[in-house]
Structures are given as structure tokens and as C-alpha cells.
Amino acid sequence: MVIALLLNFGWAKAEVSQTTLDYLTNQTQNQWLTMALAANDQANPDLGYLADFEANSANDFAKTILALTAVGQNPYNYGGSDFVAGLENYYTAGQFGSADLLSDDFWAIMALRSAGAAVNDQMIVSSHNFILDNQNPDGGFSYAAGAESDSNDTAAAVLALLDAGLTAQSDVVIEALDYLEDVQNPDGGFPFVAGSESDSGSDAWVIIALNKAGLNPESWSQGGQTPLTHLQTLALEDGSYRWLIGDPSGSPLMTAYAAVALAGAYYPVGYYEAPAENAGSYRLRIEGAEETYCDTMVAAATALEIVENGAQICGYDYLIESTGFGPYLTAIGDDQAEGLNGWLYRVNYQSPAVGAADYQLAAGDEVLWYYGEWGIQPLRVSLSDDQIEPAAAVTVNVEYFNESQWLPAENVSVHVGDSVQLSNNFGQVSLNPADVGAYEVYAVGENFIISERLNLLVAGDNAAVVNMIVNIDPNGAAPDGSISFSVETTELDFGSLGPGQNQVTPVSITNNGNGSMYLEAIVSGDDLFEDNTYVDDSLWEEYQTVFDGNESRDLSVLLSVPQNFAGSGIRQGSLTFWASSQ
């Protein structure tokens, strides 16, 4: 289903005529027309064009996800295709698609958020930072890094940044809106770039951005003319909208943009919510004074019940006491409430105004329980790349949430494996780890809540990575002395498993060298894989073996889902093999 977007900004929205909707319905359909019709409550738009879907870019997947979520369809499985996975395959080095482009990052963020991804999803955080790094000095954005600002891409950037957790009061958004206001023409309309002729597409994009920011387009006036009045000068009797005033006929694409703008809507038009049978599981993270007690998916109805149910999965002890103000979480593990320190909670990093027992969890919620004083703020970390070659450069970005926006966290301790460095003035730590392995990355600071823990994988020529995936249903010879080996598969798919079930999948490894090779394994990714993956009957942390020269061998990789596991949905991880001389 889709969470309906009820837009009520306190002003009357323009009407989209039935003639315009009929015009759109009668055109050759595409993703933009689907979104326009959905934004105007037109039932059952024709999605037949997706039968011949072919993707050549990240944007092809992104706009298709947005079309599907606009009409309540499942972007993870439509017509047998997982469009979200298709988009995620374009994520590399901290951004989507081409490193020269920004537009694919705008639309990737909106698409993933519409598909249910959280604002602290690492791909969204990294892409968000990439966009911020490429804001032009005039406050605007372009489709490409370093190119001249334009109104359309600045509006799209505002849409993406608002979906990535910023607000209309964030400095970056204010600067972008100031740029848009500066380029408005005397006729009330907007040009693509400053000084050019106003056009319907630019009018629509700016109106859509204002809709999402909660601003009244009628208040953006030049001599009594607004983007709404200018847009109507480009309307034709057949319901279509011209791009420019001199065009002899209307454009289906410009008409689609106009229909979203005039409906008071914005992109994403809708947000996908998992079907009822998969709903009710939420991410729970519990940060004590010195340890992380839990970080997993837990089924629950309230922000307090999730602590009770999480104990069955993560194995911590807890104490809830009845007070005159309602139930109170007194202790988890060794961390007990005393003095000014106690257990507090946040949902999606915000501090709710109700007690945890009264907070009803909704789709997409992430619950953070933490031990400390009132007023300490959350930290989060992101990586410019989560998998690198040995000695390659990687940047850890650290931010804190000041109750309205994320800001760089200066002078906090960033842990990377066994090393600790302080973040600089920009909230960054630069690394060049030389040793192969999986490094746990997190940040700690005084008066801050410890960040979540990420995995940085350093894998060189003597390492091979195998991606692992599972769907949880609740119900040639190398020279002597060198190391060279190959892994026959790049993905292990464990299919659909339920609590208490397991699945074995083989993986074939060949030592391409003439000498003996010592092999170990590392599992990273979802906790389900990190805690429950076995290689040749040994927990992966204990697995080690020796391959003779030129030996090939099949290894068994087993995933065992705990009987009390309460999560659901697709889980992903990575299995890394690395070798050294024997």
C-alpha cells in the first residue's frame, strides 16, 4: 500500500482540469505520466510500458521505482523484477551512477526513500553528502558536478535533500531556495538558467519544490505575477501545456510536470509500505554507556514493547518498573538509571513527546534507546566507500543531530578497528588502511550518543568477496611463491527461510598458485549473517584451512536462522575469503 500524502499548506491549490487528465491518459504512457495521474487520484494508470523495461542508467531504475510507489505497487517485486536492487547496483564510491553527475543522486535518494529506505541508510547518507559537496557558490545545483546552476536541478536537489532528512529551515535548503527566487523572471515564471525565457517545466519544478518545502507558490510574486499564473499562460485548450509560449503544441512531459505541481503534490508522489504480513518489524538499536546491546529488526507495536521483544533476540536483561507516570525502563544489562543518567529513546533520531509505552510504531520507524543524560545528541557515521583496496583512501564522515538537522561533528573519536582518530573541523577522518580485513567503524564523543557501527572491508588481490542474500519469511597457474586463487561464484542466495530453518550453499575455491595457501573468512553486513554463518561446519570467525598448490575444493556455507528470530524481509551480507602464504 501507499501512505497517502495529504497536502494542506493553508492555501488553495490550483485545479488540474479533467481535460488535462484526459490528455495525459490518452498519451503514450511512461513513468512521469504515471506519477502525474497518481498525484491527481486517477485510479489504475496503465503500467504496460514496464513489460519492455530496459535500464541504461541509475535514473531509469529510480524513476520506475517512483512510478511504482506512486500507485502502490511493490518496487521490490513487480513483474518478477526487483527495481530497488537494480538501482542499488549503480551505487559506487559513495554516490549513484556517474561520479560526474548529481541528477542521478537526486533521484536515487527520492526513489529509495519512496521504497521505504531510512534516512540513515548508508547509501542515502553518502549520496546526500555528495550532493552537499557539490552545491554551487550561488546556492544552486546543476545536473553535473561543477556545472552552472539551473532551476530544474536546484528544485530536484531540494526535493532530494528534504527526503534525506533536511528541513526547509536547513541552511543548504534556504540557500537553494534563495537561488531560485533570484532567477525568477518579471513575468512570474522561471527560466531554466538565469536570463533565459520562462518555461512550463521550470515553473512546474519550482512549484513542486515549494510544495514539498511547505511554501506558498502564490507568495513568490513579481509585479503581481507568480509561477502559477505564468504556468497557466502556457495551457492549451486540449488540456496540454506548451514548454515555451511560442510552441505550436503541448508536450506530454511538460503537462505531466504541470499536473503534479498544480495538484499541490511533489516527488515522491507516494511512499511504499510493506504488506501487512511483513509489517510490524522495526530496527532496534540499544546503546549503553560502553556497549551496544542490540542492533537488529524486532517485531513490536510500541517503542517500549520493542525492548521487551528485542531481549529474546539479543539476549540482554532489562527491568521495567511501574510508576505514577506509567511504565519506566530502569535498566538494560549493567546500565541502571541513577542520578542524571537513565534510559531515553528516540524514533528516527527525534525525541517523541510521549512515553515509550504510548508511542505506536509506524512503517519505516527506527528506534534508538540510549543510556545517558537528557540532551545528549546522536552521532552517525558514513563511509565514502565501504570496500577498498589495501592502502586506498577512504573518508569517514561524522555528523551529529541538533534536533533539526545533521551537522559535522568536530573533535569526536572515530574508531576504525583498533585505531582511534579525532574528526577534523569538517567532521571527517581520512584513512589509508593497508592491512586486509573487515574494520568496525563507529564514533564516540562526550555528550553524544555513540553512532551505529559500520563495516569497512579492505580486500586486495589476495581476497575475494562473495555477496550473500536471504529472504526471511516469518512464516591459470601463478608463479611459485605468489598467492592467486579464484572463487567460482560471486553470490550465494539462500532463498526464503523462516525462524529455526537453515540452508547450505556450496562455493568452489581454486588455489591457482603452485605453493600452499592459508585461507580465512570474514562475514560482514546484516547481523543475521555475522552471527549465524558457518563455513565447513565452523563459525566463520573460527574457520581456517590450507589449500595445496593448484587444489580445488568445494566449501559448504551454512546460514542458520535462530528459532527466536523476529525479523523479516531481504537481508544481505558479504563473505570475504583472503589468503596468505603457508
Neighbours of 423 (CB within 10 A): 23
Q: Which residue has the higher pLDDT, 524 or 544?
A: 544
Q: Which residue has the higher pLDDT, 574 or 338?
A: 338
Q: Give the pLDDT mean for 260-273.
A: 93
Q: Give the pLDDT mean for 150-174.
A: 95
3-class DSSP string for 161-185: HHHCCCCCCCHHHHHHHHHHHHHCC
Q: What is the DSSP-derived secondary structure letter of residue 238?
A: T
**Which of 49-53, 141-145, 273-277 shows the highest mean pLDDT?**
141-145
**Rounded to an integer, what distance in angstroms lies between the CA atom of residue 145 and that of residue 130?**
10
Q: Please report which confidence band the pLDDT of residue 582 belongs to, taking 50, 70 and 90 as the band edges.
A: low
| Helical ranges in 198-347 per DSSP H | 200-213, 227-232, 252-262, 305-314
**Which of 108-122, 169-183, 282-296, 430-444 shows the highest mean pLDDT?**
169-183
Domains, the chain, ranges and CATH? 2-272 (1.50.10.20), 276-375 (2.170.130.30), 378-458 (2.60.40.10), 463-581 (2.60.40)
Overall pTM > 0.95 = no
pLDDT at residue 279, rounded to an integer: 42
Quick: pLDDT tens for 64-80.
Answer: 999 999 999 999 888 88
Does 109 score more than 80 pLDDT?
A: yes
Q: Give the pLDDT mean for 271-281.
A: 62
Grid cell for residue 25:
491518459
pLDDT at residue 476, rounded to an integer: 40
Q: Give the pLDDT mean for 575-580.
A: 78
Q: Report the percent of the chain where pLDDT is more than 70.
A: 91
Q: E-strand spans in 484-532?
A: 485-487, 491-497, 502-511, 517-525
> Is the C-alpha dihedral spanning 94, 96, 101, 104 positive or negative?
negative
pLDDT at residue 27, rounded to an integer: 96
Does 166 score more than 50 pLDDT?
A: yes
pLDDT at residue 264, rounded to an integer: 94
Q: Give the pLDDT mean for 338-358.
A: 90
For 48, 146, 369, 484, the CA distances from 348, given in Å and listed in that order, are 37, 33, 11, 45
Paired residues of 539 in beta bridges: 534
C-alpha torsion 548→463→490→527, nearest 10: 110
pLDDT at residue 463, rounded to an integer: 62
Does 34 score more than 50 pLDDT?
A: yes
Concatenated DSSP letters of 72-126: T--TTSBTTB-HHHHHHTTEETTEES-TTBSHHHHHHHHHHHHTT--TT-HHHHH
Grid cell for residue 526:
546484516
Does 12 score more than 60 pLDDT?
A: no
407: helix, coil or strand?
Answer: strand
Please check whether residue 133 is in contact with residue 127, taking contact to mean a CB–CB distance below 8 angstroms. Answer: no
Question: Across the chain, what does the average pLDDT equal?
Answer: 88
Q: Give the pLDDT mean for 188-197.
A: 96
For 11, 293, 319, 355, 356, the CA distances from 327, given in Å and listed in that order, are 42, 21, 10, 8, 8
Q: Which residue has the higher pLDDT, 413 or 562?
A: 413
Quick: pLDDT tens for 360-382.
Answer: 888 788 999 999 999 999 999 99
**Rounded to an integer, what distance in angstroms lies between the CA atom of residue 72 and that of residue 57?**
23
Q: Report the percent of the chain where pLDDT is more than 90.
A: 57
Does 221 score more than 90 pLDDT?
A: yes
pLDDT at residue 13, rounded to an integer: 53
Q: Please report which confidence band the pLDDT of residue 182 belongs to, taking 50, 70 and 90 as the band edges.
A: very high
CA-based nearest residue to 119, from 375, 394, 366, 384: 366
Quick: pLDDT tens for 81-104.
Answer: 899 999 999 999 899 999 999 999
Q: Give the pLDDT mean for 538-555.
A: 87
Q: Please report which confidence band the pLDDT of residue 522 belongs to, taking 50, 70 and 90 as the band edges.
A: confident
